[in-house]
Amino acid sequence: MPVLSRPPAGGPALITVDRPGAPLAAVRLHVAVGSADEPPGERGLAHVVEHLVVRCAMDGGRVGNGALVSARTGRERTSYAVLVRRPDAPAAVAALAAAFDTLTVEPSVLATELAAIRRETAQRTADLRWRLQETLLAALWPGTSYAHSPLGDRTVLDALTPDAVRSFHAAWYRPSDATAVIVTDGASAVGAAAAGPWGGPVAGHGVPPRLIRSPRCDARPMSHGVCVELTPEGAGVPGPGASGRVGGSGRLGGPDRYGGSNRQGGSDRQGASGAAVRSAAANGTQRRRGGRAVGLAFAVDHPGNGPTLPSRQDLVHQAGRHPTHRARQELARRAVRAAGGLDLQLLELRGTTCVWAMVSAPDAGAARRALHTALWDARTRLLAADGELWLRTEALIPELRAADDLETLAERAAETGPAAWRDSPKGRYGPEGPYGPEAPYGPVAPERVTAAEVAAVLAEWERHVEAIQQVEPGTAGKDGR
C-alpha cells in the first residue's frame, strides 16, 4: 500500500494512502488548535469555531450525494472528516479546505450555535463516563491548560462576540499548521490535484500567528497516577470532555476520537480483593448496588522525551504519537480486554500517552487492585507458551480489522503525522516509499509486534498503577496560574 507524504506549497502536510478498488474515500483535516491553547478568557472558543466553520465556511458540511462533515475539538487539535463516494473525493477536499477561508459570522448565527453548544454541554454533563473522564484528565494535568474541558466556560461563551470568533479563527487556522489525509483508490492522484483548493484564501493572511508553545503548557502531567471516586450525582466534577459534532448534532465517542476505544460496558470479573468489578457503563445506570464510579489514570512518557516534554510547535510538525509505541499500546489495550473484559482508554497529550480505566467497584482500593490484576492477567497470558498465538487471535486480528477501515486509517495517519512516514526504515518518503504492511502505522506494523513487547508495555503500566494516588474530585483540575 503506497503512502505519499508531502507539503503542498502554502498548504498543509498531506498524506495520501492508495486503497485500490475502494468505492469510498475518507478525507480528514487536523488543525493544530485545541482547548489547551486557550487562555482563561477564551475557554471554549476552539469548540465554538469548530461549529461555525462547519456551519458557515463549509456551508453546513454537506458534501456530494448527502455525506456530512463530522468535526471534533480536542485538547491539542480540531478535526474535520468526511466519508464520501470515490467520485466525490475532490469535492470533499474542497469542502475541508474551506476551513481556512475567512470566517464570516452573523450575530444571529453565533447565538444559534451557542444555544446548540449549551444543549451539548447538558448532554455531556449528564453522562457519568464523560464527567469521570474529565475529572481524571484535570487531576492528571493540574495547573495547566490541559486541565479544562474543550467545551469551555459558560461565562466566556455568554460574553462571546462575532469579532472574538473571527480573531481566534484568523490567528489559529493556518494551512501550514495542519495535516490533511486522503484515503481512497487513486489517492495520490486526488492529492496531486489538491494543491489548488488548499492554496486558496487563508484566514491567517496578514494576521500575526498565535504562539503555539504556551507557558501554561510547559508542565508535565502528575508524576504519579491519580484515582478519583464520583458520587452518582458527580458532585464537584468539572465540565465534560472533548466535544464532538456530526452534521450539527453532538455525538459521544472515545477520548477526543484521537486514540482509545469507543466501546462501552464490560464483563464482570473478580478483582484481587474478591470484589466484583466491571467497566463503568456509558450512562452510569448499570453500576452494581453499592458500587462507586472509580477512575484511575496515569501518563506514560515516550522514549526520547527529555527533561521537558515536546513543545506544541514540535507536535505540529512531527509525529503525534510515535507509531512504534502506538502499535504496542493498542495491542496491549486489546489484550487486557480479551483477558478480563476491562476497557482501557488511551489518549495522546503533549508527547505522553494518558491511560485510564473507569470501573464500578465498592471503593477505590478494590478498583486499583482490579486494574492491577487485569494487567497482570493479560501479561501472564501473553508470556504463556501459546502467548504469540493468543495475541494474534485475540488482539491482532481485531486491530487489523479496525485499521482496515478507511476512516480509521485516515484518523491514525493524521495522528502520527508526516514525520512518522519519513522515519520509515527505507529512510525516504514520496511515490517510491514507504510501501508494505508497515504503512498504516509508519515504521512498525502491528503484525510485527511480539507478545513479549506487549507484555513489557503491560509491566510498565503495572508500575504506574502501583504509584497511583487518590485525589478529591472537588480539587481536581484547579488552575492557579
Residue positions counted in the chain: 481
Q: What is the dihedral of CA 438, 440, 442, 443, to 10 degrees?
A: -20
294 neighbors 367 (Cβ within 8 angstroms): yes
Read off the pLDDT of residues 41-56 as tens digits, 9 standing for 90 and up.
999 999 999 999 999 9
Provide the mean pLDDT of the chain: 77
Cβ-contact 312, 217 below 8 angstroms: yes
Structure pTM? 0.81
User: Measured in Å, how far apart are the chain's first and last C-alpha atoms?
Assistant: 48
Q: What is the pLDDT of residue 393?
A: 96
Q: Is the pLDDT of residue 380 over 70?
A: yes
Q: Is the pLDDT score of 428 beyond 70? A: no
**CB half-sphere exposure, 57, CA atoms < 13 A:** 28
Taking the C-alpha atoms of residue 19 and residue 248, their distance in angstroms, rounded to an integer, is: 30
Per-residue pLDDT tens over the stretch 387-418: 999 999 999 999 998 888 999 989 988 887 76
**Average pLDDT for 274-292:** 45
340 class by beta-carbon count within 10 Å (0-12 exposed, 13-18 middle, 19+ buried): buried
What is the per-residue pLDDT for 103? 93
pLDDT at 414: 86
State mean pLDDT over 145-150. Answer: 92
Extract the C-alpha cell encoding 478: 484547579
For residue 54, how far is the Cα from the chain centroid? 19
Beta bridge partners of 278: 360
Best CA proximity match to 70, nearest among 250, 234, 231 = 250
Kindly report the number of other CB atoms within 10 A of residue 125's CB atom. 18
Contact 33, 78 (CB under 8 A): yes
- Per the rule left: phi > 0, alpha: psi between -120 and 50, beta: everything else, 278 is beta
Instruction: At 428, list the grid cell.
Output: 525516504
Residues 6+ apart with CB under 8 A from 376: 458, 462
Q: How far apart are CA 252 and CA 124, in angstroms?
A: 8
Q: CB burial class (10 A; 0-12, 13-18, 19+) of residue 52?
A: buried
Region 6-26: what's the mean pLDDT?
A: 83
Contact 272, 373 (CB under 8 A): yes
Least confident of 12-16, 54-58, 276-280, 389-393: 276-280
What does the pLDDT look like over 94-139, one tens digit per residue?
999 999 999 999 999 999 999 999 999 999 999 999 999 999 999 9
pLDDT tens by residue, 461-474: 999 999 998 777 65
Please count the CA atoms within 13 angstroms of the CA of 137 that sit on its side-chain side.
32
Q: Could you tell me the pLDDT band of residue 27, with boundaries at 50, 70 and 90?
A: very high
Dist CA 314 CA 212 (whole Å): 9
Measure the CA–CA gap between 262 and 144, rounded to whole angstroms.
26
- Pairwise CA distance, residues 26 & 92, whole Å: 9
Q: Which amino acid is at 222?
A: M
